[in-house]
Amino acid sequence: MPITTAVCPEINNPEVQRQVRAEQTNLLFHFGRWADLPAATGALVAAWLFWNDVSHVQLTAWVACVLGASLVRVVLGIGFSLRNIKVERSGAWTRSYFITTLLLAAAWGAAGVLLHQLATPLDEAFVALMLATVAAVAVPVLAPRISHYLAFVIVVLAPVIVRLLLDAQLLTTGIAGIVLLIGVFLGLLAWRASSQIEQGLRLRFSYAGIVDELTGESSQRTRVETKLREGEERMRRHSQSLLELAREASISTGEVRGALHVICEKAVQAIRCKRVSVWFMDDSSKALRCIHLLQDTHHDSKPDLTVEYARSPELFRMMQETRTCAISDVATDTRLQSFNAEYLRPNNVTAILGAPFRHGQRVRGVIFHEHTGSAREWTRDEASFASSLADFVALAITASDRRQAEERFRQLANYDRLTGLPNRALFMDRLTQALSKARRNKQNVALLFIDVDRFKNVNDSLGHHSGDTVLRTIGKRLLACVRAGDTVARLGGDEFTVILEECQNIETVTTICERILESATEPILLGETEANLTCSIGLSLSPGDGEDADVLLRNADIAMYKAKERGRNNYQFFTQDMHARAMLHQSRENALRKALQRTEMILHYQPQFDVDRGGVIGVEALVRWQDPEWGMIWPSEFIPLAEETGLIVPLGQWVIREACLQAREWHKALRGRPFHLAVNLSVRQFASSNLLDFVTTALRETGAPPEVLQLEITESLVMHDMENSIRVLQGLKNLGVRIALDDFGTGHSSLVYLKRLPVDVLKVDRAFVEQIAKSDQDAAIARSIINLAENLDLDVIAEGVESVAQMKQLRKGGCSKMQGYLFSMPLEKDECDRLLRGIPDFEI
Ligand code: C2E
Ligand code: CA
Ligand code: CA
């Protein structure tokens, strides 16, 4: 059918009406096609029949009218069938058809008037019959539209009926009546047929509507099913993505940057959005910082974007309260105003799906899925997927926190906090590994034991802060001196070690040692001042100097001590001889310890004389170690050992107590004659915090008069920490004890300091006395020391006087108090006792 009729769902729907009308027009044209030819033929036949009875002109005109009308209809019909006409345009065609129908009807109707010239009753009847036939034939043709048929039948039959009636004869009136009856009958018939057709069409279209509706429903179901399938597919994709993330190593190991990279990529794929951004909350929870942005395929790990709480409090609140926040149109969301203006709009973001991630209750950040261009509804499974992604971010962060904590723990356990270098534990571990590797590969390992010379001085004089700076600097310099694979460690204090692996030749090792010595001498800036330091290096080589870590380390340590002995600022290779000496050192230490316990110590006393007055004015107590095996050991051999091991403190205490007991005894024996007993104090003893207490107790417990006790301290010992020394010395003086400055002249103390020191006696060092008779210069120094003492109102005594010449020179210089082999060697207690009691007025 030319008019494309569509379906509609309801029977009384105006659309159905429209469709019915259009279909009626289709039918009119369809049947009309078959009717026009017979109609034209009929007209020709009639003209032939009446050719002899009617005016030719009239007849020809009539036939021409009928043929013309038919032709117009045929042309119209052809035009109709060639077009593809919309339902809305069907009215115009119907009207055109109606007009041609009227034309044709009029042409036929004219026959009823034109052919009256026949005028025989038979002819009249024939014409009437012919027109009735035409009307009858038109019934099926025009039945689709009853109005068309009625118009047609009226126009065809009315003229003949009217003309017959006008004749006013019985016969013609009768024929008119019959024609009228036929017309009415045909009208009714057509009406019936028409209503049948219309009914049929209505049903057809409404059924079609229903069918269509049914088809619609089923396609809807298909659509739903498709949607479900798509949803399923999406879910499958989502869970596939999540599964892949669960297996992702960067998430489980807490490698956050890598994890964000992967998570953002999954987000873009699964949620199909242009941009994904990840924001971290700062510690105060007052700002969000964007730390990863994926746009199209470009990752940006430094987007430098911040959102402040103060500017977008609603956004922060939203993150606090929800698991996901899906916003389909950010422009209309009032909560996001400033976020929208500052971030979303400039980036053309129109819809966001945010999923905050938390650690416990605290929001650590948010991942935003950003849609650009137009508004977008977010589905529930997209939201749930987004929230799963956020969980993965949280997981990565937690893993990273854990990793950092482990790293910190490992750092604490294995690295020195001050320098960041491996500590003793890690060093031992590395050395053990290096040794076993060297064993396998038949190679050497060199171990350097490095000690900073006189580091204690820096610490004591410039403070611990400066000491720390020095250690850090040395650590850095050591690192710069070695190869990349070598280990530099700090064992503690000022002791460093270096492990040199794969040592092909000894030159490499010595070169590194020289480099270290050189770099250590570079001044270290400490604020205003600078420290000039050196270091001593001990070297041991595996496997010759030891095959396990402990032995190798011990031997490097021994070699380092050798380097110190050799004047510091040098390196020494370990030798077996060193080992033997170290062993001896070790055994001596043990022996000294035992000696102290067993009281193998004794005191000798060296008398001091006043050559002018001619008598003993006091004695100096000098300790000796009486070893049952080795015999007498002199202080020079065990005092440094005692100092080093700390045994000097108990030893010194023993000396003080012993000396006090003796002092009380001799004080009594000498019955008030001026007399003192001098006791030497060592560095450590002087530095120990309880010296004052100990001396107080010793004096009290032994009953020795304080003024009899004279404590000797060396000049350099005092100069080391002037303020503290003054404090301690003053404390001792307050007890009534006398103080002597030992080895005076060697410590280069300035006069200013000397004046401040609470001392009673200066002891001119043996070195000057030794030279006094030989060199004028030393004689001059000795004399100036004596003068100095006099000026400062101090007693002065010369020690180490061995010859008469020395004595005379000293006397000439104004020093009458002397001690030395010239007068007496240090004596055993009994000998000294005899001396003091037996020769009250000793004369030379
Ligand atoms: P010092 O305090 O300078 O003691 C004097 C040293 O010179 C003593 O050596 C003494 O025997 C020696 N001497 C005395 N007269 C002469 C002489 O005319 N010529 C020479 N060449 N030497 C002489 P000693 O007893 O071997 O003591 C050495 C050092 O050991 C002492 O030097 C002192 O610093 C230290 N010392 C001795 N006893 C003790 C002690 O009980 N405690 C502490 N802390 N140190 C002690
Ligand atoms: Ca002394
Ligand atoms: Ca001395």
pLDDT in tens, 299-314: 998 888 899 998 888 8
Please report, for residues 11, 48, 101, 116, 187, the alpha-carbon distance to residue 135 in angstroms, rounded to integers and kept in the order given: 33, 21, 12, 19, 9
Per-residue confidence band for 843, with pLDDT thresholds at 50, 70 and 90: very low
| Average pLDDT value for residue range 42-56 | 83
Mutational pocket test of ligand 1: of 619, 656, 657, 680, the residue with most ligand atoms within 8 Å of the beta carbon: 680
Contacts for 484 with CB less than 8 Å, ≥ 6 apart:
none
Ligand 1 atom nearest to 635, measured from its CA: 30
- For 331, the token pair is 């422009």
Contacts of 217 (CB under 8 A, 6+ apart): none
Q: How far is the CA of 587 from the centre of ligand 2 (A)?
A: 27
Contacts (Cβ under 8 Å, ≥6 apart) of 540: 446, 447, 449, 546, 552, 553, 555, 556, 559, 573, 574
Sheet with 571-573, side-by-side order of all strands: 487-492, 495-500, 445-452, 535-542, 571-573
Task: Reply yes or no on whether the pLDDT at 8 is more than 50.
Answer: no
CA of 590 to the centre of ligand 3 (A): 28
E-strand stretches of 660-703? 676-680
| Confidence class for position 82, pLDDT limits 50, 70, 90 | confident
Q: Which ligand places an atom closest to the C-alpha of 763?
A: 3
* pLDDT for 748: 61
Residue nearest to atom 3 of ligand 1 (CA): 743
Work out the percent of the chain whose per-residue pLDDT is above 70: 97
pLDDT one-digit tens code per residue, 415-438: 999 999 999 999 999 999 999 999
Residue with tokens 């609140």: 317
Average pLDDT over residues 195-222: 80
Spatial contact of 3 and 26, defined as CB atoms under 8 Å apart: yes
Q: Is the pLDDT of residue 6 over 60?
A: no
What pLDDT shows up at residue 30? Answer: 86
The residues whose Cβ lies within 5 A of ligand 3, an ion, are: 742-743
Residue 681 Cα to ligand 2 midpoint, Å, equals: 8
Q: Ligand 3 centre and the CA of 795: distance in Å? A: 15
Closest ligand 1 atom, residue 802 Cα: 18
Supply the pLDDT for residue 420: 93
Among 161-170, 342-351, 354-363, 600-609, which is the least confidently predicted range?
161-170
Contact 517, 534 (CB under 8 A): yes
From 604, 622, 677, 762, the mutation candidate for ligand 1 (largest count of ligand atoms within 8 A of CB) is 622
pLDDT at position 476: 96
Q: If you average pLDDT over every residue of the chain, what do you get?
A: 88
Residues with Cβ within 8 Å of 382's Cβ and at least 6 positions away in sequence, in order, are: 271, 326, 353, 369
Å from CA of 747 to ligand 2 middle:
15
Shortest-distance atom of ligand 1 to CA 822? 18
Q: Which residue puts its alpha carbon closest to atom 37 of ligand 1?
A: 622
Residues with CB under 5 A from ligand 2 (ion): 680, 712, 742
Residue 458 CA to ligand 2 centre (angstroms): 28
Residue 350 in contact with residue 327, Cβ under 8 Å?
A: no
Residue nearest (by alpha carbon) to ligand 1 atom 20: 800
Query: Does residue 840 carry a pLDDT above 70?
Result: no
Q: Which ligand lies nearest to the CA atom of residue 765 in the structure?
A: 3
Atom number of ligand 1 nearest to Cα 801 = 18
Of residues 73, 201, 95, the one with CA closest to residue 148: 95
Give tens-digit pLDDT for 732-791: 999 999 999 998 877 666 666 788 889 999 999 898 898 888 888 878 888 888 888 888
State the Cα angle at 56 between 54 and 60, rounded to 5°: 110
Q: Residue for token digits 């009437």?
A: 128
Supply the residue whose CA is at minimum distance from atom 23 of ligand 1: 800
Q: How confident is the model at residue 409 (pLDDT cuts 50, 70, 90)?
A: confident
Six-digit token pair at 358?
């938390």
Confidence of residue 803 (pLDDT cuts 50, 70, 90): very high
- 519 Cβ contact partners less than 8 Å away, ≥ 6 residues apart: 477, 478, 480, 481
Q: Which residues line ligand 1 (CB under 6 A)?
A: 606, 621-623, 634-636, 639, 652, 655, 680-682, 742, 799-802, 820-821, 826
